[in-house]
Chain A
Amino acid sequence: MDLREYKVVFLVVTAILALIVASPALSRILVFPRTEFFTEMWLLGSNNTAEDYPFNLTSGQNYSVNLGLASNLGYTAYYVVEVKFRNETEPGPTNSTASSLPSLFNITAFVADQGSWQIPLTFSCNYSYNESVPSVSFYNMTFNDVTFDLTGQTAAYDTTRSGFFGSLFFELWLYDTKLNSFQFNQRSVWLWLNMTV
């Protein structure tokens, strides 16, 4: 038997064994760069599932949803979620721009890279039915333990959808450390609500 015939096999086996032994250190040194950086935003029903969303509202009654965020930005993120309310004629957010409506309340969230954050939201809406127009006039909205004013806001009757509709929507803003300001992150979630009378 000529040992030189097995030289290559021997070298390959040795190299494989050496690589296996060195793999813990190699995995630390050879880190593949991440290429996709993004934020996830979701709105779930009261059971923490994508169902049972509130739709038909009664004035003064409480409803629950869950708002969540997950960061894949490669760093700890500082978010502000702007809570806004609009009727069918007022402008909502688009894919690239935020709604021009003022924010009713801001929710602050700090999320670690590859971490997530979720809070339960309980809200109720106080409104009255104006039979002569016909329309619904809003008074205020209670959101967890804060109340914001909605006086002057109305929703006209939608004949196609048969109801008085208002949309509660959440826009995501991300703090940009280079610009020292919050930028719209092109993420928004919303709920269309039918104000029953």
Chain B
Amino acid sequence: MFREINLEARCCLKKLIIPLVLFVLMLSGLVMVCRADSEGDAQSAIASAQQQVLACYNSAADAAKAGANVTGLLSTLNDAGNLLSKADLAFENGDYNSSKALALQSQQELQGFEAQAGSLRQTAGYARELDLLVNVFDSSFGTLIVVLCALVVWFMLKKRLRQKG
């Protein structure tokens, strides 16, 4: 009787083993795919954030070149750069979810940055041109007045001395 039950159980186990192995293989494959997927996601998020940081840096540099005050822009860039460094570190440590989240946070930090930098650059450019124009005009006008005054004084002195004999 026991022998019969044992044989039945063995048969059942044999039937179960193949689907069980297949299930474990599929599960591990799924885990590996998910892991590779999240690694790829994190990698592309970091690459995208790096590109954005670089583009924002270029626009801030252009604004600074035009004479704009870029203190606020650089502070934002430093915050975004800090988040990106942390994303890099999390990626190296294999924490792909945190890495992706930090990279996305870095990108969010830079939303509207380029437009702001562009506007600052334009304003600074106009202000600089106007300032230069006013400066040159004022100085030229002042110089002209000095020369004219000198001429008037010279001729007045000349006239007075001639009258004196």
Does A14 lie within 8 Å of B142, measured CB to CB?
no
Does B142 lie within 8 Å of A107, measured CB to CB?
no
Asked if B64 lies at the interface with its beta carbon under 8 angstroms from chain A, I say yes
Asked if A168 lies at the interface with its beta carbon under 8 angstroms from chain B, I say no
A14-B150, A17-B146, A148-B89 known; A25 and B78 CB under 8 Å? no
- The A contact surface, by secondary structure, is mixed
B65: A residues at CB distance < 8 A: 75-76
- The B contact surface, by secondary structure, is helix
Can you list, as one digit per residue, whether each of B77-110 has a CB less than 8 Å from chain A (1) or not (0)? 1100110111011000100000000000000000
Number of contacting residues on B, CB 8 A? 36
Does A112 lie within 8 Å of B64, measured CB to CB?
yes
A177: B residues at CB distance < 8 A: 58
B139: A residues at CB distance < 8 A: 21-26
When C-beta atoms are compared, the residue in chain B nearest to A83 turns out to be: B85
Task: Give Cα A182–Cα B82 distance, bound, in whole angstroms.
Answer: 17
Stretch at the interface among B3-11, B20-28, B31-39, B153-161: B153-161
A106: B residues at CB distance < 8 A: 85, 88
B132: A residues at CB distance < 8 A: 28
Residue among B64, B82, B142 making CB contact with A75, cutoff 8 Å: B64
Residue among B53, B86, B140, B158 making CB contact with A22, cutoff 8 Å: B140
Asked if B127 lies at the interface with its beta carbon under 8 angstroms from chain A, I say no
Does B85 lie within 8 Å of A109, measured CB to CB?
no
When C-beta atoms are compared, the residue in chain A nearest to B82 turns out to be: A108
Within 103-159 of A, Cβ neighbours of B (below 8 Å) are at 105-113, 115, 117, 146, 148-149
Does A110 lie within 8 Å of B74, measured CB to CB?
yes
Q: Looking at the assembled complex, report how far the CB atom of B35 sits from the nearest CB atom of chain A, in whole angstroms.
A: 20
Q: Looking at the assembled complex, report how far the CB atom of A194 sits from the nearest CB atom of chain B, in whole angstroms.
A: 27
Q: Looking at the assembled complex, report how far the CB atom of A7 sits from the nearest CB atom of chain B, in whole angstroms.
A: 9
A78-B57, A149-B93 known; A110 and B81 CB under 8 Å? yes
Within 1-54 of A, Cβ neighbours of B (below 8 Å) are at 1, 3, 10, 13-14, 17-18, 21-26, 28-29
Does B142 lie within 8 Å of A22, measured CB to CB?
yes
A10-B150, A113-B64 known; A108 and B140 CB under 8 Å? no
Which B residues are within 8 Å of any A CB, using their own CB? Answer: 53, 57-58, 60-61, 64-65, 70-71, 74, 77-78, 81-82, 84-86, 88-89, 93, 132, 135-136, 138-140, 142-143, 145-147, 150, 154, 157-158, 161
